[in-house]
Chains A and B, each alone.
Chain A
Amino acid sequence: MSDKATRDSFGEAIKALGAEFPKIVVLDADLSVSTKSVHFAKAFPERFIQMGIAEQNMVGTAAGLANSGFIPFACSFGCFVASRYETIRVSVGYSKSNVKIVGTHAGLGTGEDGYTQMALEDINVLRGLPGMTILQPSDDVTTRAAIRFAATHVGPVYIRLTRQKLPALYQSESVFEPWKGIVLKEGGGEVAFLASGATVSESLKACDKLSKLNPWVADFHTIKPIDANLILKLAKTCKKLVTVEDHNVIGGLGSAVAEVLAEAGSSTPLLRLGVQDTYGESGIATDLYEKYGISANQIAARVQELF
């Protein structure tokens, strides 16, 4: 199977689901070509709502559609839509509106466009909203499963997708179980990677350089609610845990894991790899992953320092 960006998987999945679910409507804010909602727009023009460059109005409009029985997917770059926080907070979150917010161009993987187009704090912002489900699939198969799950789950969902292509990791959509992380690779008693989205495949590749440590790799496609059972199982099994995310380490996957460990009284040390509370910059995505320490090479190097 060839590599594929999860935004492309979304575009194909939402078009397929559009035929199956007549209640699905899709909104976009002049980025349908980039978010790939354009596939739905072409197939179902009467159910595609072009909002222009006006994201807060898109979110509010989606809430009104949801309150009237539709299943709206409101799409933009993650940074542009999650930053319309106040509208998401009241019109979607507090209102328990059945709105699906799709944020593409997750993190440093956005590349050359630089920081302003990178969603680096979106999970941090939205994780604090009660009832908000946050999904970040790691390949084509789990993206299709996540989009189907979002369409059928009643309640607000944020789906975080990549601009860059990711390797295929799974064969069947059945691997995606709601609210449960996936153990992608079982390992020994030393270290476990807890990753989400693009960093799952980077973590898996890092294992090639860490054969003596034989790490575990767990895929947290759902960041909220987080699979606490899996975190604690890994904490009991391994000497160290490492979270890897293309997001600020504050408020994202690393924080969610730290909260679970601390409350359970776990003494297993945690290393949080990700953007270390800085802004991003322009560059080729793979170079940025090197510079900010979330490439397979850098992940392996940091873990070797631990042992």
Chain B
Amino acid sequence: MPENASVQELSAIANECRADIIRMIELAQSGHPGGSLSAIDIITTLFFREIKMDPKNPDWEDRDRFILSKGHGVPALYAVLARKGVITRDDLWTLRRINSKLQGHPDRVIMPVVEASTGSLGQGLSIAQGVALALKLQKKSAHVYCLMGDGETQEGQVWETAMSAPKYKLNNLIAFTDNNNGQIDGHVTEVMDLDPLADKWRAFNWAVQEIDGHNYQQILDAVAKAKKETTKPSMIIAHTIKGKGVSFMENNIGWHGSAPSKAEAEKAIAEIEGRKV
């Protein structure tokens, strides 16, 4: 896999990951396709362009960190880690099975490369803040990326971290909101509206950007801009489509946490691969 993937290569990798996400959730007959597909372009871009890591030495102190606060989106992370060669593609087909290291939500104890055990929403940004503080204390220049869900932002703990990270001038902390406007009980705007989300983060003194979360160049530009911040942590609000890439899943809340049947998976993968069924 390319170290410095072009935008075209990122698109190809993300599509391969999309197909893997569908296949692994179909095989497990359990999992969260909607939020994995909305996040995959961001995760692919970060791992194939931004994140410095050594797959053979997951504890390398100078590595960039990626914390998936929206732990239910972990099929997207597993798919990318398989493309990076950190885990095997055969590992993917063990998702959610007994004795698998691919837990339904990330587990840092049995798979240290995932950095944080998440799934109880609202905690990842606090952990990312602790890691960012540690890097500052160690005078290391690595960055901490944290990917959050928009529904997750309803948790109060998120706003405690929103308050504290600017105090500690954590410009090494770059957070994304996967703003797909979907959560289990409906649209985020209906369940508990976050609007105006960008203004909220700005009011807490974060450097805020809004981008199309499926546009690789916009993701890259936003990260480049965030890295130039001298004092503020960054929040990149990525407007995304839940289920992106599979037409019958797109913007359909029902696909938040439902597995496709074999036939649905074939149809989805054919669409992702641009084939006619």
Contact = CB atoms under 8 A, between A and B. Distances in A.
A52 B164 contact: yes
A60 B126 contact: yes
B120 A64 contact: no
B128 A64 contact: yes
Contacts, number: 102
A249 interface: no
Interface string B150-178: 00000011001101100010000000000
A63 B135 CA distance: 14
B120 A95 contact: no
Contacts of A61: 126-127, 129-130, 133, 161, 164
Contact of B120 (A69, A70, A90): A90
Interface in B78-131: 107-109, 115-120, 123, 125-131
A68 B130 contact: yes
Interface in A44-63: 46-47, 49, 51-52, 54, 56-57, 59-63
B61 to A, nearest CB: 8
B233 to A, nearest CB: 13
Of the listed residues A56, A72, A91, A94, the one surrounded by the most CB atoms of chain B closer than 10 A to its CB is A91
Most B C-beta atoms less than 10 A away, residue of A46, A64, A66, A72: A64
A72 to B, nearest CB: 8
Nearest to B117: A95
A62 B133 CA distance: 10
B230 interface: no
Contacts of B117: 90-91, 94-95
A29 to B, nearest CB: 10
B115 A57 contact: no
Interface residues of B, number: 31
B160 A95 contact: no
A87 interface: yes
B108 A68 contact: no
A70 B134 contact: yes
Interface string B40-60: 000000000000000000000
A155 to B, nearest CB: 12
A63 B61 CA distance: 16
Interface string A74-118: 000000000000110111001110000000000000000000000
Contacts of A64: 116, 126-134
B137 interface: yes
B113 to A, nearest CB: 12
Contacts of B163: 52, 54, 57
B138 interface: yes
Given A54-B160, A87-B157, A96-B109, A65 B133 contact: yes
Given A52-B163, A68-B134, A60 B129 contact: yes
A87 B138 CA distance: 25
Contacts of A25: 137
A59 B131 contact: no
Contacts of B125: 60
Contacts of A69: 61, 134, 138
A66 B126 CA distance: 12
A91 B168 CA distance: 21
Interface of B: 61, 107-109, 115-120, 123, 125-135, 137-138, 156-157, 160-161, 163-164, 168
Interface of A: 25, 46-47, 49, 51-52, 54, 56-57, 59-70, 72, 86-87, 89-91, 94-96
User: Would you list the 9 A-B pairs with minimal beta carbon distance, nearest first?
Assistant: A64-B130, A60-B126, A68-B134, A57-B160, A54-B160, A61-B130, A64-B127, A64-B131, A65-B130
24 contacts: A54-B163, A57-B129, A57-B161, A60-B157, A61-B126, A63-B127, A65-B131, A65-B134, A67-B127, A68-B130, A68-B131, A68-B134, A68-B135, A68-B138, A70-B134, A70-B137, A86-B123, A90-B120, A91-B117, A91-B126, A94-B107, A95-B116, A95-B117, A96-B109
